[in-house]
A and B are shown apart, each in its own frame.
Chain A
Amino acid sequence: GQNIDQPTEMTATEGAIVQINCTYQTSGFNGLFWYQQHAGEAPTFLSYNVLDGLEEKGRFSSFLSRSKGYSYLLLKELQMKDSASYLCAVRVPGNTGKLIFGQGTTLQVKP
């Protein structure tokens, strides 16, 4: 079966660091994606990991451990505009580009 787990909600303070975890159990793996989705808007691409390790992009970093079926998204120097849902998605093997999404983590940043 296909299962991707993320915490439903998280709260953090402006200026702090927050880590959003994602664990997956899927029949095959061909990369892990993180998307940001503000309320009422479309998801936008944040990061992509296909090999183990940390990918850094400005204030956002994403980590992958394929042996543990685990990823996290790290957000530093939190800003109020970071309040959004963060979706973890696994790409299935093959040439279809299909993604399986977790339910998303709603992050609320407080002053």
Chain B
Amino acid sequence: NAGVTQTPKFRILKIGQSMTLQCTQDMNHNYMYWYRQDPGMGLKLIYYSVGAGITDKGEVPNGYNVSRSTTEDFPLRLELAAPSQTSVYFCASRGTYEQYFGPGTRLTVT
């Protein structure tokens, strides 16, 4: 039981490039979330999903897109990377009440 896994762990992007952050969970959870965490700050919700085929915006969705074709996978897409997207990105899935977090992706845009 791996829980929530994320790839890659680290990535450096140039301004204007695109990339997809991968997130997979093996706990059969319906609810999944993407957060970003800037230095010294709490977590801000980017997008969330309540089940396969259903996604919705969180607090800070601009510049990102998501899809949820299966229960297990919830990828986050950055289309045109900007320096403001430099952050640590966490994916989470929800159990009975608490959320389980993946190890994070540290992204730098230069």
Contact = CB atoms under 8 A, between A and B. Distances in A.
Contacts of B101: 42-44
Given A101-B42, A103-B42, A95 B90 contact: no
Interface residues on A, range: 20 to 34
Nearest to A44: B101
A83 to B, nearest CB: 16
Contacts of B64: none
A100 B45 CA distance: 8
A97 B43 contact: no
A48 B43 contact: no
Contact of B97 (A48, A100, A104): A48
Contacts of B100: 45
Interface of A: 4, 8, 31, 33, 41-45, 48, 87, 89, 95-104
